[in-house]
Structure 1
Amino acid sequence: MKKLFIGIDISKDNLDVCCIEASSEKKLLEFKVKNTESGIVSILKKVSRLKFSESNTWYCFEHTGTYGYLLAYLFNEKEVCYSCVPGLEIKRSIGITRGSNDKVDAQRIALYACRHRKKLEPSKFPSETILKIKNCLACRKQLMKISTQLKNSIHSHKLVNKIVDNQIVIDELTNQLKAVTASLRKIEKEIIKLVKQDESVYKNYKLINSVVGIGPIIGAHMIVYTANFQSFSEARKFNCYAGIAPFSNNSGTSIHTKPKVNNMANKQIKKLLSNGANSAVRHDPELRKYYLRKINEGKQHNSIINAVCCKLVARMFAVIARQTEFVHIYSYSLNA
């Protein structure tokens, strides 16, 4: 059982640290360091002076994206036990609060780790390949957004061009769009190249791409968000994370609502899965039949597509568990 819990509040430039002893929840040490390699090393040195062994020490911090990468990377290199927890989970666990600052937030993170130590799980830093793919996907998302903005701008300027000569602006925006399109193709090729560099990643990537409706980009996102299918033990847990699992809301005799999806979700993967589901109901005979049957029953399109998303996720986790490509059993039954 861990005896010392260290909460770290991460910001762009600094790290606020608070150390709490488990049995009494007493603050033993508070300090601030720079968010640099030397600053992180100094954290380990200062904590070691408290005379707690490494096996009795647990670090906890919020998931803050790129600002926390260096901290997680160095902890992983030095085999330090740590947990990277969603900020919303910590916020909802501490009850009613008023005001906050970095010092107080570090204390609250440490208290969260101390009080929830039985359910805390150690975090793992993603592999170099997955991290590179993630960065490429983030770059692709930005380029896609810029591409859409340029297309809309060109369309609007063409309307203006009917009134006044606006061709120079249209030509400039068109050239920019061509450059962004070329960058998009380059980054997509790089994503596939990175996937092929790691044997285990490439194997799982090919398996999930055998599922109808799952293309290269959705497959790459699934590899990243599941840490090559190591972060989620089953499809239902991933459905909850992606925001496609319906939940009921019932209380007493007065509150009875139909099950619906929750707004707390990874909107990016939910959007991609919906695109894949729309493709699957057109090209997969089994899912096409399922879609038409539900439409005839009076179900809404979005509700059916959400159910198809769940089916696609279940199929992906199934092929990963079996380590065999997806088999269209429905087509075999039709030919029998």
Structure 2
Amino acid sequence: MFQLGIDVSKKTLDLCLLREGVKGRVKTRKLKNDFNATSTVISWLCKQQCEPADVHIIMEATGVYHESLAYGLNKAGARVSLANPYRSREFARGMDILTKNDSVDAYMLACYGALKEPEPWVPPPENVRYLSALLRRRDALVTDRSREKNRLEKCRMTDIPPVIAESIDNVLRNLSTEIEHLDDLILTHLDQHAELKKDFDLLTSIKSVGFQLGLNMLVILRGHRFDTAEQVAAFLGVVPVEKSSGTSVRGKPKLSKIGPPEIRAKLYLASLCGLRFNPVMKAMYERLCLCGKAKMCAIGALMRKLVHWCYGVLKTQKPFDAEYLSSDARSAYKAV
């Protein structure tokens, strides 16, 4: 199988084709990243006498500019893998590739596919994609509303014309109205898809998992293929990374923070909420602090535990049980 590395940017695609492995001949090409990118890439592969089914295509999952191309190539029958940008960068350093530009990144991704053979990417179902798009838009509007609230607070602390505050109030009202409209669309979408509605109810059965975190975890868990809860925690960057070597290096373990930071922010807020309202999380936090763990370290453990619980309720298809330490519940969550 041939390896094709594609470095995706907003306007261009840098292609690097390996026909005979890492040490073989290299074919490169720069193309425009537009609505015709999929057909253009396939046409170029055909000129190289490579059928899409015989090519393993590797690109990085950064932003949204890769999505249209990834879906199109997957539909054309190619094997597509989305590499984690952090891991691919570390792979480049391991190969002594210190230069970073578009053409070098495309070659590095092709080598990554040849040597690491990453798992093929499976597109999420259409209903999950639609829900994800609604959530992205809602999060963007919530961020805009927070910014406008901060501007309004600063206006009230300074001597400015009243029309400025009135303008901000109008924007805030419009943003709140649009957010409420998106909330209605999200709830309607859940009602139209019974499996998503059931999974959302299971996730929110966990005390401290609310509307936003429940929806985001639903998109993550149903939009990706995970075999264990540890894989989900690693994907979200809430696993501890140890830093120690010999007798001199004794760094404190920290969260890897590899993955979407906005989800970690929601997990952090949900963990703080759990300290107040979830007795299981509160007991776990106090036990870790008594064992000498720092407070932030204990909160990181709560974030990871929330991820495990979210995976567990969807895997077992049973609501969260606060008495999970009992023998029946332990057997259900043992694999988690």
Normalization by structure 2: what TM-score? 0.86
Percent of matched pairs sharing the same residue: 23
Residue 267 of structure 2 is aligned to residue 273 of structure 1:
yes
Q: CA deviation at 1:231?
A: 2.4
Query: Which residue does the alignment assign to 2:188?
Result: 193
Cα distance 1:328–1:269, how it changes in 2: closer, same or farther (>3 A)? Answer: same
For residue 144 of structure 1, the aligned residue among 142, 147, 171 is: 142
**Aligned partner of 1:324: which letter?**
K
* Distance (whole Å) between structure 2 residues aligned to residue 149 and residue 134 of structure 1: 23
Q: CA RMSD in A?
A: 2.6
Query: Which residue does the alignment assign to 1:46?
Result: 44
Deviations 1:259-278 (A, max 9, x none): 22234343211111111112
Q: SS where residue 67 of structure 1 aligns? A: coil
* Distance (whole Å) between structure 1 residues aligned to residue 34 and residue 152 of structure 2: 44
* Distance (whole Å) between structure 1 residues aligned to residue 166 and residue 32 of structure 2: 47
Q: Contact between 2:22 and 2:114, CA under 8 Å: does it hold in 1?
A: no
Q: SS where residue 166 of structure 2 aligns? A: helix
Query: Which residue does the alignment assign to 1:104?
Result: 104
Q: Contact between 2:131 and 2:219, CA under 8 Å: does it hold in 1?
A: yes
For residue 159 of structure 1, the aligned residue among 157, 160, 163 is: 157
**Aligned partner of 1:122: which letter?**
P
Q: SS where residue 181 of structure 2 aligns? A: helix
Q: Contact between 1:160 and 1:166, CA under 8 Å: does it hold in 2?
A: no
The 5-angstrom pairing of residues 1-336 of structure 1 reads: 2=1, 4-23=2-21, 25-52=23-50, 55-95=53-93, 96-117=96-117, 120-161=118-159, 166-228=161-223, 230-295=224-289, 299-329=293-323
Q: Contact between 2:92 and 2:98, CA under 8 Å: does it hold in 1?
A: no
Count of aligned pairs = 325
Q: SS where residue 65 of structure 2 aligns? A: helix
Q: CA deviation at 1:46?
A: 3.2
Q: SS where residue 177 of structure 2 aligns? A: helix
Give unpaired runs (5+ residues) of structure 2: 328-336
Cα distance 1:292–1:175, how it changes in 2: closer, same or farther (>3 A)? Answer: same
Q: Contact between 1:235 and 1:314, CA under 8 Å: does it hold in 2?
A: yes
Q: Contact between 2:14 and 2:106, CA under 8 Å: does it hold in 1?
A: yes
Cα distance 1:156–1:111, how it changes in 2: closer, same or farther (>3 A)? Answer: same
Q: SS where residue 94 of structure 1 aligns? A: helix
Which sits farther off after the overlay, 168-177 or 52-61? 52-61
Cα distance 1:148–1:242, how it changes in 2: closer, same or farther (>3 A)? Answer: same
Deviations 1:155-178 (A, max 9, x none): 2221224xxx63222222112111
Q: Contact between 1:33 and 1:40, CA under 8 Å: does it hold in 2?
A: no
Pick the structure with greater CA Rg.
1
Cα distance 1:275–1:45, how it changes in 2: closer, same or farther (>3 A)? Answer: same
Which sits farther off after the overlay, 89-98 or 138-147? 89-98
Deviations 1:93-132 (A, max 9, x none): 1233354443333222212211222xx1101222222222
* Distance (whole Å) between structure 2 residues aligned to residue 256 and residue 14 of structure 1: 44
Which sits farther off after the overlay, 20-29 or 175-184? 20-29
**Aligned partner of 1:83: which letter?**
S
Deviations 1:77-106 (A, max 9, x none): 222211111233222212333544433332
Q: SS where residue 25 of structure 2 aligns? A: strand
**Aligned partner of 1:320: which letter?**
L
